[in-house]
């Protein structure tokens, strides 16, 4: 593991490099005290330049101004270019690399160009001043271009890092949204499990209480249905709530969700193949349920298959709650080339429930939501011959339809 050490909030390696650069410039300034023009005064100017370079990363523009002013003082004093004037090039490079705005680097380049001309004019040499100015200009221009190139590269890398960070945040947001959607689906499933099972249990418990003295055997059968329904509901709730638990690192793996669901039967989806078992449970609860399938059954997407299952389950539950024990219910699942239709019709001729059915449920609302997801239509209302009917039409994924919910 790499440990990034800092000093005064700055990386230790950067601070060490800046100290080395400043010490080198100060050494150039002090080494020529005896021989360079200006003597110790020029050495003092060079030392101040070196000290300013210590802050070239944090305050590049300010350091460039300080170095430029000291260089101007040096030229005005007639000392000419000296070895420690390399600080001017370092400050110019630092502005281009570290300044927030490129404008500062352009202004520093203009100032350096003016300084090149002044240095050429004050150079005591046998060649023309402009030749010296051209030489200094080439060196300064090369440093300026290198600094500009490094700046461009630096901001390019920063943009890539920012883009990567943004993509990572987007992936995390999508993952959170997916988790929220999955938990919403699980909440709907929990509602179905609890609402349908509790409705069956309430009806059977009321029937058992009513028949306890008149027909003990029937009461015992009703109590058995209550117990069986409760155990099944508890098992389904355990399966669904288990999905909400955070998986351990060993269980997470890189397997796709489908592979994990297939490998774990506890997380299986309800399918149309389980409709007979569902009807058997409601027959045991007292409904006279009949089941018919027409057309050629097609392979349905798991979500659509679950929607069909839940529509049938909600219809049977409503029949048991409102039509009562002994009511006749006909369930029809019709397969077509472009859609699947579900129809649940009861005759309303069962024994009235001992106590009124609880109101305020969300079963029909849940069915509307499920059907609308697949651009289907839902019709609910009283049947033509009495009782109640629920009809759902669900187009297959290759077709499109307009979502509608209409009364019968």
Question: Could you tell me which residues come within 8 angstroms of residue 54 by beta carbon, excluding any fewer than 6 positions away?
Answer: 18, 19, 22
| Residue after which a domain boundary falls, among 77, 99, 124 | 124
Q: Is the pTM of this model over 0.85?
A: no
Tally of domains in the chain: 2
The widest CA-to-CA distance across the chain, in whole angstroms, is: 132
For residue range 118-143, list pLDDT tens digits in order: 777 766 655 666 777 788 888 888 99
What one-character-per-residue DSSP string does 283-294 give?
A: HHHT-EEEEEEE
Q: Residue 373 in contact with residue 363, Cβ under 8 Å?
A: no
Q: Residue 344 in contact with residue 311, Cβ under 8 Å?
A: yes
325 belongs to a structural domain: yes
Burial class (CB in 10 A: 0-12, 13-18, 19+), 317: buried
d(CA 306, CA 373): 12
191 belongs to a structural domain: no
Instruction: Indicate the helix (H) or strand (E) that contains 105.
Output: helix 102-121
Which range (49-53, 126-130, 370-374) has the least confidence? Answer: 126-130
Q: Is 149 helix (H, G, I), strand (E, B) or coil?
A: helix
Q: Residue 339 is part of which domain span?
A: 271-408
104 belongs to a structural domain: yes
Instruction: Indicate the helix (H) or strand (E) that contains 307.
Output: helix 302-318
Q: What is the pLDDT of residue 402?
A: 39
| Residue after which a domain boundary falls, among 82, 103, 124 | 124
| Residue after which a domain boundary falls, among 63, 92, 124 | 124
340 belongs to a structural domain: yes
**Would the pLDDT of 267 be above 50?**
no
For residue range 292-347, list pLDDT tens digits in order: 999 888 777 777 888 888 889 888 888 888 888 888 999 999 998 889 999 999 98
Q: What is the CATH number of the domain that holds 385?
A: 3.30.565.10
């Amino acid at each position: 593991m790499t440990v990034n050490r800092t000093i005064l909030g700055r990386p230790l390696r950067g601070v060490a490099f800046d100290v080395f650069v400043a010490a080198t410039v100060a050494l150039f300034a002090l080494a020529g005290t005896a021989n360079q023009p200006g003597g110790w005064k020029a050495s003092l100017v060079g030392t101040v330049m070196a000290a300013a370079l210590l802050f070239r990363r944090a305050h590049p523009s300010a350091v460039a101004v300080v170095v430029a002013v000291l260089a101007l003082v040096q030229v005005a004093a007639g000392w000419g270019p000296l070895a420690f004037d390399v600080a001017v090039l370092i400050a110019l490079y630092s502005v281009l690399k570290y300044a927030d705005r490129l404008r500062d680097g352009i202004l520093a380049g203009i100032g350096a160009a003016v300084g090149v001309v002044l240095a050429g004019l004050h150079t005591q040499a046998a060649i023309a001043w402009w030749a010296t100015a051209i030489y200094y200009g080439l060196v300064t221009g090369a440093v300026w271009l290198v600094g500009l190139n490094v700046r461009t590269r630096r901001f390019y890398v920063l943009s890539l890092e920012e883009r990567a960070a943004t993509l990572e945040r987007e992936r995390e947001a999508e993952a959170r949204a997916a988790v929220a959607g999955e938990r919403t689906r699980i909440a709907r499933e929990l509602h179905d499990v609890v609402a349908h099972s509790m409705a069956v249990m309430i009806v059977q418990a009321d029937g058992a209480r009513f028949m306890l003295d008149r027909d003990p055997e029937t009461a015992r059968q009703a109590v058995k249905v209550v117990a069986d329904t409760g155990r099944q509901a508890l098992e389904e709730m355990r399966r669904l709530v288990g999905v909400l638990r955070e998986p351990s690192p060993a269980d997470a793996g890189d397997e796709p969700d489908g592979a994990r669901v297939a490998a774990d039967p506890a997380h299986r989806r309800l399918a149309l193949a389980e409709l007979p078992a569902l009807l058997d449970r409601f027959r045991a609860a007292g409904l006279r349920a009949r089941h018919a399938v027409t057309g050629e059954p097609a392979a349905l997407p798991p979500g659509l298959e679950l929607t069909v299952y839940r529509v049938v389950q909600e219809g049977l539950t409503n029949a048991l709650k409102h039509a009562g024990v002994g009511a006749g219910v006909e369930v029809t699942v019709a397969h077509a080339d472009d859609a699947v239709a579900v129809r649940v019709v009861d005759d309303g001729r069962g024994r009235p429930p001992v106590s009124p059915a609880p109101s305020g449920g969300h079963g029909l609302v849940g069915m509307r939501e499920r059907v609308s997801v697949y651009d289907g239509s839902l019709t609910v209302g009283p049947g033509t011959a009495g009782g109640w009917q629920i009809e759902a039409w669900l187009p297959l994924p290759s077709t499109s339809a307009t979502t509608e919910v209409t009364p019968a």
